[in-house]
């Protein structure tokens, strides 16, 4: 408060100049205070909007928190913004100290408690528990799914992981057109198949490099290399029909072509003899499709959400789910010829984020994942063994290629070759153990 003692005015020696200066100083202080109050009143609506916006933004994190899906980085960033907001509100409240500023102070205090709860209360415990549950669940799946002697059936599987991959032993352009940069190809993959084991096939995604409804079969390797004596099969009336293929996902196994069904979380099986299409829905909370969890790493391969693979142990589906935080999920499939149905027998959850890999394939019950190195090289860097639940991310097995993009990778247990659909080129490699 500015005070001027007027009683001093009765003395003749009073210095009126000093009094006038004191009054001017008081007036300046009052004007400054009025300006601060004016500015604070102007800032108050802005801060109120900030608090409302912050509360709205916190709701998704609270939703994810309840399901254990938030990340520590997101919470830290949110906490930093909250600290700045607290500083602003403290400043305004110190100047105004009215009902509105008091209410804002209470609201931001509640927000701070919510964030602290997410930061400290459950994060470590939830991560630990969820990881333990994933580990136990995978162990249960391994115990009930892998035959005890399956590795003994193929002695090279007993040697462990793949030790080396050759340079391409086959290189050719797909028989449709080089512009079809996405698809899949390979050889009959069922080891005890009653169908011709020498059958080769190519499936190109002819609609936007995402969808398709036909594939081509060759009875011999020579026919395949010469692109002669082929047979085309149609499994959907159009490339956008309910039984059309979505993404580069196919594998020929026994008497059927297995692939990802159009715009769904389903696996389809096209019967080469009857032309019937059967389907089954993949297990998991929020199975990714329609480009939700494609293979990425360097460039994302559109709609590569679901991947069908085959190896010595049978059929596999590789995909990601919201429930597993976008990490790769591995499900074992089998065809029941008596009931003519596709069935899912077991499912494993990995810790490998699907969008962090360029592609994947199965060998001897082991999931292998690749990453982009440069235009002419990929690298197998990760393995997950369904028999033990163990992971290895220290691999460094190169895969030479002729173009940058990898649409699909698949392994054939009959000749132990790996097939790559490489931006319209068809490449094959020999795997060594």
Alpha-carbon gap, residue 172 to 256, rounded angstroms: 25
Residue 387: what pLDDT?
A: 86
Name the token pair of 211: 């969808």
Domains and CATH numbers, the chain: 164-432 (2.120.10)
Residue 27: what pLDDT?
A: 57
Burial label for 123, CB within 10 Å (0-12, 13-18, 19+), is: middle
Residue 192: what pLDDT?
A: 81
Least confident of 103-107, 137-141, 266-270: 137-141
Least confident of 35-39, 42-46, 66-70, 325-329: 66-70
pLDDT at residue 69 greater than cutoff 60:
no
Mean pLDDT of the chain: 82
pLDDT at residue 147 greater than cutoff 50:
no
Residue 109: what pLDDT?
A: 77
Prediction pTM value: 0.70
Least confident of 36-50, 222-236, 335-349: 36-50
Alpha-carbon gap, residue 107 to 146, rounded angstroms: 55
Least confident of 63-77, 222-236, 290-304: 63-77
Q: Are 411 and 417 in contact (CB under 8 A)?
A: yes
Residue 14: what pLDDT?
A: 47
Alpha-carbon gap, residue 285 to 272, rounded angstroms: 32
Mean pLDDT of 61-85: 60
Residue 124: what pLDDT?
A: 46
More confident residue, 142 or 427: 427
More confident residue, 47 or 202: 202
DSSP codes of every residue in 208-258: TTTEESEEEEESSHHHHHHT-SEEEEE-SSSTTSTT-EESS--EEETTEEE
pLDDT at residue 23 greater than cutoff 70:
no
Residue 29: what pLDDT?
A: 59
Alpha-carbon gap, residue 348 to 317, rounded angstroms: 11
- Angle, to 10 degrees, between the axis of helix 99-116 and the axis of helix 72-96? 160
Question: Tell me: the pLDDT tens digits for 354-377?
Answer: 999 999 999 999 999 999 999 999
Residue 44: what pLDDT?
A: 62
Burial label for 323, CB within 10 Å (0-12, 13-18, 19+), is: middle
More confident residue, 56 or 158: 158
Closest CA to 399 of 426, 380, 385, 416: 380
Alpha-carbon gap, residue 362 to 313, rounded angstroms: 9
Least confident of 98-102, 178-182, 342-346: 98-102
More confident residue, 151 or 419: 419
Alpha-carbon gap, residue 156 to 386, rounded angstroms: 17
pLDDT at residue 235 greater than cutoff 50:
yes
Residue 75: what pLDDT?
A: 61
Mean pLDDT of 422-431: 96
What proportion of the chain, given as a percentage, has pLDDT over 70? 69
């Amino acid at each position: 408060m500015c005070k001027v003692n007027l009683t001093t005015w009765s003395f003749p020696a009073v210095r009126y100049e000093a009094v006038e200066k004191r009054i001017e100083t008081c007036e300046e202080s009052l004007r400054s205070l009025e300006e601060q109050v004016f500015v604070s009143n102007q800032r108050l609506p802005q801060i109120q909007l900030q608090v409302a916006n912050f509360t709205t933004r916190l709701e998704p994190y609270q939703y994810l928190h309840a399901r254990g899906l938030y990340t520590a980085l997101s919470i830290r960033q949110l906490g930093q913004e909250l600290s700045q907001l607290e500083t602003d509100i403290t400043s305004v409240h110190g100047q105004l100290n009215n009902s509105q500023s008091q209410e804002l102070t209470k609201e931001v205090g509640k927000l701070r408690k919510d964030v602290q709860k997410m930061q400290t209360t459950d994060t470590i415990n939830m991560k630990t528990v969820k990881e333990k549950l994933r580990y136990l669940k995978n162990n249960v799946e391994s115990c009930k799914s892998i035959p005890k002697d399956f590795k003994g059936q193929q002695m090279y599987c007993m040697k462990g992981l793949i030790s080396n991959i050759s340079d391409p032993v086959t290189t050719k352009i797909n028989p449709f057109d080089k512009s079809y940069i996405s698809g899949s190809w390979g050889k009959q993959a069922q080891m005890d198949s009653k169908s011709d084991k020498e059958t080769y096939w190519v499936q190109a995604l002819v609609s936007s490099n995402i969808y398709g409804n036909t594939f081509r079969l060759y009875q011999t390797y020579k026919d395949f290399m010469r692109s002669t004596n082929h047979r085309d099969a149609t499994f959907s009336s159009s490339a956008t029909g309910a039984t059309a293929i979505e993404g580069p996902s196919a594998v020929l196994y026994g008497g059927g072509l297995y692939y990802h069904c159009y715009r769904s979380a389903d696996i389809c099986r096209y019967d080469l003899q009857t032309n019937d299409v059967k389907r089954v829905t993949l297990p998991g909370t929020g199975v990714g499709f329609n480009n939700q969890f494609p293979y990425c790493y360097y460039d994302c391969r559109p709609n590569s959400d679901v991947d069908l693979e085959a190896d010595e142990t049978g059929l596999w589906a590789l995909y990601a789910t919201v429930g597993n935080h976008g990490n790769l999920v591995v499900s074992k499939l089998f065809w029941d010829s008596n009931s003519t149905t596709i069935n899912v027998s077991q499912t494993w959850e990995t810790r490998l984020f699907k969008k962090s890999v360029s592609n994947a394939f199965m060998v001897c019950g082991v999931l292998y994942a690749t990453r982009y190195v440069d235009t002419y090289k990929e690298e197998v860097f990760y393995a997950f063994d369904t028999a033990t639940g163990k992971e290895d991310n220290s691999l460094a097995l190169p895969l030479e290629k002729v173009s940058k993009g990898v649409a699909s990778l698949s392994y054939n247990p009959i000749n132990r070759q790996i097939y790559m659909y490489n931006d319209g080129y068809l490449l094959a490699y020999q795997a060594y153990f």
